[in-house]
């Protein structure tokens, strides 16, 4: 929300979330997290993307460098953490923590010491739980003002995927928090097996888009496009996956405009009481008094700064909110939001600024 | 460590670069006309002779086409500035030395862009005049300009261009209706206190003379070493200063442009770098609080491109022109986003939603253009149309760059 000082220079139109943006990323550098099971083919997909025009000027950050083996032809090794790759892309080995690496590469770019990369791909290790990465990008406000989490893309092997989901909790979280799921090795698994596996995946994450890779390739936009759920229809709830009892994913829709206070307070309450169990909440909201949709994103107990967009995608004006939770029932969250919305509606709460400290002095 | 290559492009997509048929040294006049046949023509002033102005069809911004390019009659003049209102274009003519001719302003009928027809020449030559450096023509009625005059003699030769208001309601007969000079700059007056270091004494004379149709009683006047002034021009025969803000010393003068943001009570002020290699650094873009127009207060400066990386690559480095938020249907208008040029620092867009903390949202520092003798880009001016297409020009050879912001 804008603060008192910036409101001093209000242009007269109501913009509680600051400048309306054309896209959720605004001016920030888009960052795509590519995660996925060991051997699922993440590196192959990324390497193919880097050869396309859309992949130019990409900074690739790899954690646990070497494990997945980007080949030497593409990667010119250097003495430092950042090295130039074949088509003008950069590759960064994640030796230090993610925060430090991102701050450094942004500063080096601004100083002209690094070529001006336009996007970042963060390839995580196969065993990585992506939630702490999303937390890092949300928690560090300095970083969040410069980097936009464009999407979480999870790559899954259709042959071994089902077993991996069964055995590895990290794998289930990789699927649950993904915006897009890329299925590889469909030819080896067979179409029937792939279809069954897709149903399993959708049960775990009904809002994700599933794309099958062909010969280890997908269209560049499958990896690079902005957060899919913002523009695509919310999928109806599906049958829960038998091996994913701990993770649930569902979408809520609201047809009437919402009070921001009700939404903010509900999400805050959820974060305080059960933040640990909110893996991710994301959506577009129709907020009373706002012209465009308001983008919200929550990772565990952390909420990203909401932004207002200039216009609704595809003209559809209604709130949609996707939750990926652990051991919280859909109806509990639905009830909480319903009550807050009803109370706020009855109170006719005006859109106001959060209280600042020192108000009693 | 992979080192930078002197370029920095972030959040701008280059749609086209046109070197304007070998005459890509451009000045600080950029204006859009929607021609009677519907074509969108971008009119560009050249930095120096031999070319006068160039019209470029930018209807398709990915495929700009030169429709006309004209010559100056002599090599000792330049037409650094132009503005279009409707189908009339005003062009500024300045000579190298005082006393030379032709010096003044010419009005053209550009209804047929391929064939601009002169309507009038307004002579500003004189024994102590170099003519017109910059002009502003927004409402179709008045040209506001920084100019010498046949009857104007400054006490110091660097102070030879004052603020003048020319009535062009009858475009075939332009008439001066008012003028103002900073007290102490006209010959015979008690001389103004000059900047002490001679190398930094660049003159107390008018530069940009911005007057917006929504506020026709105000001129936002930049006066180089005199800082900037908000002028009351309700009585055009008698312009009166309301306030003045001058950052120099300790800064190094050459205040170039002031752009008001009426709804927010803000103003953007840019100084101009005029010395190569960043030797007059820092030349900045300032944010002013002008809620009380009698008391402008600087509240922030915009973060410039990295000095160490870009200042020593050749040519100038520092602020210069900005997109001036024209109140025309063909101009981008925003009080949140501003576009500023920095010579070797390229073009930078800022988000000033929080005016106390402007944020860089886009940068365009391309490589040195083909044929560049100085070895670096020198972005001189910019204009943004209502489609949010950004046009910017190089001062020497690069011509026109057409960009799409992606932020």
* Mean pLDDT over each residue of chain B, to the nearest integer: 96
Predicted local distance difference test score (pLDDT) of residue A228: 45
Predicted local distance difference test score (pLDDT) of residue B285: 98
**pLDDT tens digit sequence for A207-264:** 888 999 988 889 999 999 887 445 444 444 444 444 455 778 888 989 899 999 999 9
Predicted local distance difference test score (pLDDT) of residue A139: 78
d(CA A329, CA A342): 20
Residue of B nearest to A7 (CA): B354
pLDDT of residue B59 exceeding 70, the answer is yes
Q: What is the mean pLDDT of residues B310-317?
A: 95
Predicted local distance difference test score (pLDDT) of residue B182: 98
Q: What is the mean pLDDT of residues B27-46?
A: 98
d(CA B135, CA B29): 9
Q: What percent of chain A has pLDDT over 90?
A: 32
Q: Which of A99-113, A127-141, A243-257, B381-395 has the highest mean pLDDT?
A: B381-395
Predicted local distance difference test score (pLDDT) of residue A354: 43
Q: What φ, ψ does residue B40 adopt, rounded to 5°?
A: -95, 115
pLDDT of residue A70 exceeding 50, the answer is no
**pLDDT tens digit sequence for A114-134:** 788 889 998 887 777 888 888
Predicted local distance difference test score (pLDDT) of residue A83: 44
Confidence of residue B35 (pLDDT cuts 50, 70, 90): very high
Predicted local distance difference test score (pLDDT) of residue B292: 97
Establish if A2 touches chain B: CB-CB under 8 angstroms: yes
Q: Which of A88-92, A356-360, B43-47 has the highest mean pLDDT?
A: B43-47
Phi-psi region of B182 (alpha: psi -120 to 50; beta: other; left: phi over 0): beta
Lowest mean pLDDT across A347-351, B24-28, B183-187 = A347-351
Confidence of residue B7 (pLDDT cuts 50, 70, 90): confident
Lowest mean pLDDT across A223-227, B284-288, B320-324, B346-350 = A223-227
Predicted local distance difference test score (pLDDT) of residue A203: 85
CB–CB of B4 and A110 under 8 A? no
CB–CB of B1 and A82 under 8 A? yes
pLDDT of residue B138 exceeding 70, the answer is yes
Establish if A311 touches chain B: CB-CB under 8 angstroms: no
**Across-strand partners of B15?**
none
Predicted local distance difference test score (pLDDT) of residue A5: 57
pLDDT of residue A159 exceeding 60, the answer is yes
Establish if A113 touches chain B: CB-CB under 8 angstroms: yes
Burial class (CB in 10 A: 0-12, 13-18, 19+), A242: exposed
Residue of B nearest to A81 (CA): B1
Predicted local distance difference test score (pLDDT) of residue A64: 53
Q: Which of A62-66, A94-98, B51-55 has the highest mean pLDDT?
A: B51-55
ipTM for the predicted complex: 0.81
Lowest mean pLDDT across A53-62, B231-240, B265-274 = A53-62
Q: Which fold has domain B25-328?
A: Methylamine Dehydrogenase; Chain H (2.130.10)
- Sheet arrangement for strand B285-289: B255-261, B266-271, B285-289, B297-301
Q: What is the mean pLDDT of residues A316-336?
A: 89
pLDDT higher for A353 or A133? Answer: A133
d(CA B284, CA B348): 12
Residue in A79, A112, A118 nearest the CB of B4: A112
Confidence of residue B119 (pLDDT cuts 50, 70, 90): very high
Q: Tell me which residues of chain A, numbers 10 to 49, contact chain B at a CB-CB cutoff of 8 Å.
A: 10-12, 18-19, 22, 26-27, 29
**pLDDT tens digit sequence for B172-214:** 999 999 999 999 999 999 999 998 887 789 999 999 999 999 9
pLDDT higher for A108 or B305? Answer: B305
Distance from the Cα of B241 to chain A's closest Cα (Å) equals 24
d(CA A69, CA A127): 15
Query: Looking at chain A, how many residues does it have?
Result: 361
pLDDT higher for B135 or A313? Answer: B135
Predicted local distance difference test score (pLDDT) of residue B369: 96
Distance from the Cα of A23 to chain B's closest Cα (Å) equals 8
DSSP state of A71: -
Predicted local distance difference test score (pLDDT) of residue A215: 85
Could you tell me which residues of chain B have a Cβ less than 8 Å from any Cβ in chain A? Answer: 1-11, 263-266, 289, 291, 306, 308-310, 335-337, 349, 351, 353-356, 359-363, 407
| Residues in chain B closer than 8 A to A18 (CB atoms) | 353-354
Q: Which of A73-77, A169-173, A330-334 has the highest mean pLDDT?
A: A330-334
Tell me if A266 sits within 8 A of A336, measured CB to CB. Answer: yes
Please tell me whether residue A150 adopts helix, strand or coil conformation: strand
Q: What is the mean pLDDT of residues A287-293?
A: 91
Predicted local distance difference test score (pLDDT) of residue A1: 45
Domains of chain A by start residue, with CATH = 29-230 (3.40.50.300), 245-347 (3.30.1220.10)
d(CA A189, CA A164): 14
Q: Which of A55-69, A75-89, A166-180, B105-119 has the highest mean pLDDT?
A: B105-119
| Residues in chain B closer than 8 A to A19 (CB atoms) | 336-337, 351, 353
């Amino acid at each position: 929300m804008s603060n008192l000082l910036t409101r001093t220079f209000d242009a007269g139109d109501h913009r509680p979330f600051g400048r309306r943006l054309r896209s959720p990323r605004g001016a920030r550098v888009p960052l795509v997290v590519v995660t996925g099971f060991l051997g699922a083919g993440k590196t192959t997909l990324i390497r193919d993307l880097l050869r396309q025009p859309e992949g130019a000027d990409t900074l690739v950050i790899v954690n646990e460098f070497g494990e997945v083996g980007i080949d030497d032809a593409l990667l010119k090794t250097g003495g430092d953490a950042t090295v130039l790759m074949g088509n003008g892309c950069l590759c960064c080995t994640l030796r230090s923590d993610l925060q430090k690496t991102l701050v450094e590469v942004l500063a080096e770019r601004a100083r002209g010491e690094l070529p001006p990369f336009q996007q970042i791909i963060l390839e995580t290790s196969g065993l990585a739980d992506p939630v702490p990465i999303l937390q890092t990008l949300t928690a560090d406000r300095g970083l969040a003002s410069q980097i936009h989490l464009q999407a979480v893309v999870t790559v899954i092997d259709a042959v071994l995927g089902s077993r991996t989901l069964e055995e590895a909790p990290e794998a289930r979280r990789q699927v649950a928090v993904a915006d897009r799921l890329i299925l590889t090795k469909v030819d080896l698994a067979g179409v029937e097996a792939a279809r069954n596996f897709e149903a399993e995946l959708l049960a775990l994450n009904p809002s994700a888009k599933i794309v099958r890779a062909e010969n280890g390739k997908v269209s560049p936009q499958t990896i690079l496009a902005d957060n899919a759920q913002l523009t695509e229809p919310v999928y109806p709830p599906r049958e829960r996956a038998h091996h994913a009892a701990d993770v649930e994913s569902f979408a809520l829709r609201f047809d009437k405009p919402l009070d921001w206070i009700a939404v903010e307070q509900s999400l805050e309450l959820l974060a305080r009481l059960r933040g640990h169990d909110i893996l991710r909440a994301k959506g577009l909201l129709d907020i009373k008094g706002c012209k465009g949709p308001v983008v919200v994103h929550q990772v565990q107990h952390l909420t990203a700064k909401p932004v207002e967009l200039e216009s609704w995608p595809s003209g559809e004006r209604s709130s949609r909110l996707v939750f990926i939770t652990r051991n919280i029932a859909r109806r509990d969250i639905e009830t909480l939001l319903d009550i807050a919305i009803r109370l706020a509606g009855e109170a006719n709460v005006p859109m106001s600024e959060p209280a600042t400290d020192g108000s009693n002095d | 460590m992979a080192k930078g290559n002197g370029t920095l492009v972030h959040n701008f997509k280059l749609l086209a670069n046109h070197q304007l048929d070998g005459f890509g040294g451009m000045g600080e006049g950029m204006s859009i006309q929607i021609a009677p046949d519907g074509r969108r023509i971008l009119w560009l002033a050249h930095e120096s002779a031999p070319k006068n102005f160039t019209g470029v069809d930018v209807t398709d911004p990915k495929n700009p086409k030169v429709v006309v390019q004209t010559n100056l009659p002599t090599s000792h003049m330049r037409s650094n500035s132009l503005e279009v209102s409707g189908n009339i274009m005003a062009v500024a003519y300045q000579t190298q030395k005082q006393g030379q001719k032709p010096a003044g302003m010419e009005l053209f009928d550009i209804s047929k862009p391929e064939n601009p027809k002169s309507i009038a020449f307004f002579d500003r030559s004189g024994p102590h005049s170099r003519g017109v450096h910059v002009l502003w023509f927004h409402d179709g009625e008045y040209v506001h300009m920084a100019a010498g005059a046949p009857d104007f003699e400054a006490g110091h030769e660097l102070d030879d261009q004052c603020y003048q208001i020319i009535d062009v309601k009858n475009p075939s007969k332009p008439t001066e209706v008012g003028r103002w000079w900073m007290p102490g700059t006209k010959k015979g007056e008690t001389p103004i206190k000059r900047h002490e270091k001679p190398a930094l004494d660049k003159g107390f004379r008018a530069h940009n003379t911005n007057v917006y149709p929504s506020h026709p009683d105000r001129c936002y006047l930049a006066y180089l070493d005199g800082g900037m002034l908000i002028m009351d021009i309700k009585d055009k025969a008698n312009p009166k200063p309301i306030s003045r803000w001058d950052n120099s010393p300790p800064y190094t003068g050459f205040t170039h442009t002031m752009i008001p943001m009426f709804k927010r009570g803000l103003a953007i002020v840019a100084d101009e770098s005029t010395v190569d290699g960043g030797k007059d650094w820092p030349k900045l873009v300032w944010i002013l609080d002008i809620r009380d127009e009698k008391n402008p207060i600087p509240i922030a400066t915009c973060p410039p491109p990295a000095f160490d990386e870009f200042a020593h690559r050749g040519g100038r480095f520092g602020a210069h022109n900005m997109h001036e938020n024209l109140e025309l249907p063909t101009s981008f208008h925003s009080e949140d986003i501003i576009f500023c040029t920095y010579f070797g620092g390229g073009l930078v867009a800022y988000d000033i939603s929080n005016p106390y903390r402007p944020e860089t949202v886009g940068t365009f520092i391309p490589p040195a253009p083909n044929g560049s003798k100085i070895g670096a880009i020198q972005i001189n001016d910019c204009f943004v149309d209502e489609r949010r297409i950004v046009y910017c020009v190089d001062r020497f050879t690069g011509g026109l760059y057409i960009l799409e912001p992606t932020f």
